[in-house]
Chain A
């Protein structure tokens, strides 16, 4: 999954028999959502990483706007949008159902996933501008999640194991520790305010399904800084190993 990101003029590797094909970018949190679902459900797939600054021409045949993540089936059908892919996988592959069985619980989890968009948009503002004001906005949006995990009294939002809600918000939570690297000690989330969420974060890091795609905060910070400097270093992992 850390292979070279293919760009303009490249060839799309042929599909592998018996496997789904995921078009991805190693540091993209939306693509990571799909990795997490595939890994949690142990669905066989291969990965083609895509250079998002110099998109290969063939990508537009898979996804009209050339977006990642995009999932290609052996039939040649392609679907995109991380939530649509995640929902499709949970419906098509019944092993380890990630959404709650109860339609009402599922609807409430979807509402929370929707609400997490407030955390995401404020995080992006924060990355652009390491300002206390934006950190406050992130924390305000995160408060509802601390309240929710406290009220559920289980290690994960999904119960004893992570469920769809856990996985859909994880990519940004994985990246939260890089804020300290980027902006200094004042950009650490206060323990007292997010006690249970921090326990949840540690529990998620122990999960096999999360370990597959997990990257350390230093790596995330390195990537984000390259992006901010104007040259997104997609293949930085290849240089380290």
Chain B
């Protein structure tokens, strides 16, 4: 998965028998969601990294939007959008089901994912600068997750082991420590406010 990112003029390596093909970018948090689900469910797959600043023409035949992640099956069918891929994998490969069994709990987890969707945009703004300081918004959004994890009184949102919600939000938490290195003055998350979430990170 740490292989060279393919750009214009490259050739798409042939599919491997018995494996799904994941088109990815090593540092893309959305692509990481697909990796996490594939790895959690131990689904055989290979990875082709895409150079997003210089996309190969053949990639648009996989995803007309040219985005990662995308999954290609041995049939040649392709799907994209990280959450649609995650849902597909959970339905197609029943080993270690990641979504809660109970439809209402699953719906509530999806609502939390909706709430989370503002955080990536705000973290991006934090990193790249913007007119409005997004830190307060990020902290308010994180409050909701701290509250929820406290309520559930389990190590992970999914219980004793991570579930879909844990994996879908994880990529940004993994990057939080990186932001401290890149922009320490901008990014100070009070750790007492997020006791439970910090425990989960460990």
Contact surface of A with B, Cβ cutoff 8 Å: 73, 75, 77, 79-81, 84-85, 87-88, 91-92, 103-104, 106-108, 110-111, 114
Contacts and interface: CB of A to CB of B under 8 A. Distances in A.
B91 A106 contact: yes
Contacts of B104: 73, 75, 77, 79, 88, 92
Given A73-B104, A104-B77, A110-B84, 12 more contacts: A81-B110, A81-B111, A87-B107, A88-B106, A91-B103, A103-B88, A103-B92, A104-B92, A106-B88, A111-B80, A111-B84, A114-B84
Contacts, number: 53
B84 A88 contact: no
Contacts of A110: 81, 84, 87
Q: How many residues of B sit at the interface, in one of the four size bands?
A: 10 to 19
A160 B91 CA distance: 24
A103 B111 contact: no
Contacts of A73: 104
B61 interface: no
Interface of B: 73, 77, 79-81, 84-85, 87-88, 91-92, 103-104, 106-108, 110-111, 114
30 contacts: A77-B104, A79-B104, A79-B107, A79-B108, A80-B111, A81-B110, A81-B111, A81-B114, A84-B111, A84-B114, A85-B107, A87-B107, A91-B103, A92-B103, A103-B91, A104-B77, A104-B79, A104-B92, A106-B91, A107-B79, A107-B84, A107-B88, A110-B81, A110-B84, A110-B87, A111-B79, A111-B80, A111-B84, A114-B81, A114-B84
B79 A108 contact: yes
B85 to A, nearest CB: 8
A16 B91 CA distance: 34
Contacts of B80: 111
Contacts of A103: 88, 91-92
